[in-house]
Amino acid sequence: MEDGKKIGLIAIGVAMIIASFLLGNAYKYKYKKQQTIAVTGLAEYDFVSDMVVWDGYYSRQSFEMKDAYALIKEDEKKIRTFLEAKGVKTDEISFSSVNINKDFASVRDDYGNYSQRFNGYSLSQTVSIESKDINKIEGVSKDIAQLIDQGIELNSNSPRYYYSKLKDLKINLLAKAADDARNRAKTMAENSKSSLGGLVKSSMGVFQITGQNSDEDYSYGGVFNTSSKNKTASITVKSEYQIK
């Protein structure tokens, strides 16, 4: 009986030693997993837009829709002739479909009652240019007021600038931002008398395109500038590394 009791106590002691060993290793593993460093890498690139988009709109009014339509189609013909004379290629010019609205005016009678009076039809149309010849289109957008002499009141918008290789640019910046994040993590680890371990996780941050020499604020959702020809693209990468 005494021998059985001794064997039981020995078994309990061994079990406690094993449990302590396993618990100690689990704590060490957990502690080791918690030794990480989080950094944000940044990459920027200055570039010049290689594509421009310009558009403007014009309208005509008449009590007869067919008369207003005839006028606006004549304006379309004159605008196309003007643009082609300025060197704009035919396939760079596009016209929208004609938008038709009925105009009404509020009329008050002698008794103070209001009613709607038909004021005719208002037709409008948009003309757009998409081209890689930025200098030419910038000149056209400034000269468009010459159409007033032909009786066409065309409202011109400012040119918008784009970059056709944006996809490749974004990929290159992403790689550079990831390298920058690793270098930052390595520097921080070395300064704390540690060494950099493996990557735990990484995610892309905000991709921004801002105008150079502008006062644009960075946005949480990203800025995509179209008003400046000269731009700066930037991207961030958030990475977490183990340290040893």
Per-residue pLDDT, 149: 87
Question: Which pLDDT tens digit goes with each residue over 209-227?
Answer: 999 977 766 666 678 899 9
Per-residue pLDDT, 30: 45
Average pLDDT along the chain: 86
DSSP the chain: -HHHHHHHHHHHHHHHHHHHHHHHHHHHHHHHHT-EEEEEEEEEEEEE--EEEEEEEEEEEESSHHHHHHHHHHHHHHHHHHHHHTT--GGGEEEPPPEEEEEEEEEE-TTS-EEEEEEEEEEEEEEEEEES-HHHHHHHHHHGGGGGGGT---EEPPPEEE-TTHHHHHHHHHHHHHHHHHHHHHHHHHHTT--EEEEEEEEEEEEEEEETT--PPP-TT--B--S-SEEEEEEEEEEEEEE-
Q: pLDDT band at residue 156, thresholds of 50, 70 and 90?
A: very high
Q: What is the mean pLDDT of residues 73-83?
A: 96
Q: Taking the domains of the chain in order of start, what are their residue ranges? A: 1-34, 36-48+165-243, 52-161
The CATH code of domain 36-48+165-243 reads 3.30.110.170
Q: What is the mean pLDDT of residues 171-188?
A: 95
Class of domain 52-161: alpha beta
Q: Please check whether the two domains, 36-48+165-243 and 52-161, share a CATH topology.
A: no
Percent over 90 (pLDDT), the chain? 66
Q: What is the mean pLDDT of residues 57-71?
A: 95
Per-residue pLDDT, 123: 96
User: Is pLDDT larger for residue 62 or for residue 7?
Assistant: 62
